Structure 1
């Protein structure tokens, strides 16, 4: 619960815009020192280790429940062999230009570790005492690095992103438990809207869970016209032709299509997907074999894109992310979103920290709009709102005035004491952007 408690503190407890400051504290009846929440047991999470964090009513009259989907305990038993297999795969592939320097560093580390290992095995005369001590300490350092960093830290990544026979059962277990939890929350009439927020490797897990859960609900709606959905499809068609898509207008239209679908009986209530420190930026290197392979998987609707992939309809003579299920189809038929149209109704916001020289920013993160956008006549149409934080960047991609680079910022996306302030708000820029992405007031 440590991660969830810290997250809730930043996006709920310390956000003075969510609850009227003069409202009495619901625990003491006195002056409040932050927004109040309580940890409550909840059977929906199927874990005695976890609690639901329930909040007091906000300005909009709503309550918010925070859940943590914890899956690390399912990824036990990582071994050096799992990591070696993955590293070999990375080393002998041409990396994207943006991480080529990190790829070179990985090669250097590999050569050094390999050289030290061979040197230690090579027969030689008894070394001098200082050489023996240096060798021993070097061996301990390498052993610690392999055990504490490679196996424990990268072992989860290595096993989840590679669909090798030893990994498949773990991947299925993690995804299925997540799908089950999300489905229980969607099916609960108590909830009106769900926001999925994820960090690091969790963004890949959450993306998979969302994609698989959506297939349970995409065809559950009334057989009625959907003008807002039609407007969204036209917006995407226009963007494919022009190569331009206004993110503000697109997300506003997504929200209208989402509300329309709900009014017509759609049970899908996941309005937003918020990612932080997402390795999805390297999707062609981590979850596919190449950029061409990534695009092929997206075109085949194995991996949902934002905006969603369109398909040509011979009846309407246009491209849609929806289809008519009638055998005798007509242009005016009511339509159903296809199983990969997740991001027609769910807005995606991605926070990343620009990396420089590996030591500052977040090498793991980056913009995801291009990797998960929709190829068009004039380039990739990007429907993800990518927001640079720690530091903020200006229109030219340079560090914005008043901001500075952060040292290893991967774990700081909801840390109140990191980053830089924006204006006179006193709130770090990355926290302000995270709160804006979550839209807790609706």
Structure 2
């Protein structure tokens, strides 16, 4: 078995400095540039006492430090004067961190009811069998609200008094009484008030928040341009951070070594929230598909990839024995395989993908028609899974997420290229979510992802995503260890949120898990 001790962690020479980038992708709604990033940096760097020795003086004042300072600097990579790069001092492991925000809200402009209604109608007019069990109560509530609003609006436009008389056999009775006069103006007033409230709700809440979801996840002609622009800008930023944005593969001589990539970073961590997790998923997918072949193949007949090989053997063994994955061991091997990929010249620097409050838990109706369609797209590598999809190699007589190139040995340990949807063999995926209760408590938008983006085979379901329930913490039997706060969707990096008397540590459980997932001290 490979261990972290027998892999070369870095190609740097003595004295060279490590540097990493954290790319934060915000969620739905009319976000203000830098708001998400500043709050996130405060939680994950400024207030984290474990990153910098407390004995080190504050670099601004020279006095005893109260918190870890950061500096806001111009950011040419994002190509926006609204955005800044937030940079840090060296942590105790010698690594500096640059925080970036991929801001996309301004690209989702002009959302109208026309954009929203098709998606909303699809949510309502679907078979109950196509509604995931964890949101079935919300689906029923949505129907109930829709029916009530429709009935009241209809009632406000009909002559209910006359209809009641007709049903009572008194259609010719034109007598006017106090009751009929009262109801003749009550219903129109109620309808008018409800119309104003419904209009405000649609304009302020549905269109500005869920309108983003409707436009991004539904590939209709009205939405394609917005989806393309958001993904294109995201891929451009990620490739800029990796140093490959200006590389033209058409001008690269076949078989020649790839250049030293023009980047100052050794590692990139992608953190996303809410709808931003769907966008981040797409950005990673498109970026890796563009660069998965950027590997130096020189001497491939002798070159080996022991960590990639061991990772594939782990998957093959689990399938052969109809078993499950040891997620911790899988993640350790992912990191080793990522280091190995970089040593082969790959510019892929994304070591970790972290999702917070992700609607990808509802992927069967957000990204697909139903569960069967979702699985078909995953098997076809349209929607990458963790672990990645495998293919049969007749020469090795095994399944791989890589394929052979050239005439090297049929031994699977030798040099192979990853297929275009194999990035979760090298990038660890951590999903932090909050379970919901009674729709509004907890986070009904989020949920576990391991069972939705696993490697599904006829004999085994291999899950490589680390799902972490928070707000509140849950025990091994999935029982809550505290109260569920009201609407936790926006509270994953909020230090002030507590979940009961037992949640009295200096650092709340959900913040501890977030810091642990990002692991800024890792290399």
TM bracket (short chain): over 0.9
CA deviations on 1:208-261 (whole Å, 9 max, x unpaired) are 000000112211223331010000001111223333111111100101111111
Alignment coverage as a number of residue pairs: 440
CA deviations on 1:324-355 (whole Å, 9 max, x unpaired) are 13379744652101010010000000000001
Q: Runs of 5+ in structure 2 lacking a partner?
A: 1-33, 162-180, 244-261, 298-302
SS class of match (2:488): coil
In structure 1, the partner of 2:282 is: 208
CA deviations on 1:152-199 (whole Å, 9 max, x unpaired) are 111000010001010000000000000000000011421000000000
In structure 2, the partner of 1:82 is: 115
CA deviations on 1:63-121 (whole Å, 9 max, x unpaired) are 10000000011101111121110011111223011111111111112112222232233
Contact 1:38 1:53 (C-alpha < 8 Å) held by counterparts: yes
Deviation of 1:139 after TM superposition, in Å, equals 2.3
CA deviations on 1:364-414 (whole Å, 9 max, x unpaired) are 0000001100013444211000000001111111112xx221110000000
In structure 2, the partner of 1:151 is: 207
Q: For residues 267 and 505 of structure 2, what CA distance do their matches in structure 1 show?
A: 28
Deviation of 1:135 after TM superposition, in Å, equals 3.6
In structure 2, the partner of 1:221 is: 295
Q: Which of 262, 267, 270 lines up with 1:196 in the alignment? A: 270
SS class of match (2:77): helix
Kindly report which structure 2 residues correspond to 1:270-419, keeping only aligned pairs within 5 A, or say none.
Answer: 270-326=350-406, 330-331=410-411, 334-400=415-481, 403-419=482-498
SS class of match (1:166): coil
Contact 1:352 1:362 (C-alpha < 8 Å) held by counterparts: yes
Q: For residues 59 and 2 of structure 1, what CA distance do their matches in structure 2 show?
A: 27
CA deviations on 1:256-306 (whole Å, 9 max, x unpaired) are 111111122111110000000000001011110111111111111111100
Q: Which of 338, 349, 353 lines up with 1:269 in the alignment? A: 349
SS class of match (2:156): helix
Distance 1:348 1:434, change over 3 A: same
Q: Which of 222, 229, 240 lines up with 1:173 in the alignment? A: 229
Q: For residues 197 and 504 of structure 2, what CA distance do their matches in structure 1 show?
A: 45
Query: Using CA pairs below 8 Å that are at least 6 residues apart, which structure has the higher relative contact order?
Result: 2
Q: For residues 37 and 347 of structure 2, what CA distance do their matches in structure 1 show?
A: 26
Q: TM-score, normalised by structure 2?
A: 0.81
Contact 1:243 1:376 (C-alpha < 8 Å) held by counterparts: no
SS class of match (2:222): helix
Q: Which of 32, 36, 45 lines up with 1:3 in the alignment? A: 36
SS class of match (2:461): strand
Task: Name whichever of 141-150 and 69-78 sits farther off.
Answer: 141-150
Q: Which of 97, 103, 121 lines up with 2:133 in the alignment? A: 97
Q: For residues 34 and 8 of structure 1, what CA distance do their matches in structure 2 show?
A: 12
Contact 1:353 1:409 (C-alpha < 8 Å) held by counterparts: yes
Contact 2:45 2:68 (C-alpha < 8 Å) held by counterparts: yes
Q: Which of 173, 178, 195 lines up with 1:139 in the alignment? A: 195
Cα RMSD of the aligned pairs, angstroms, is: 1.8
Q: For residues 88 and 47 of structure 1, what CA distance do their matches in structure 2 show?
A: 37
Deviation of 1:430 after TM superposition, in Å, equals 0.5
SS class of match (2:71): strand
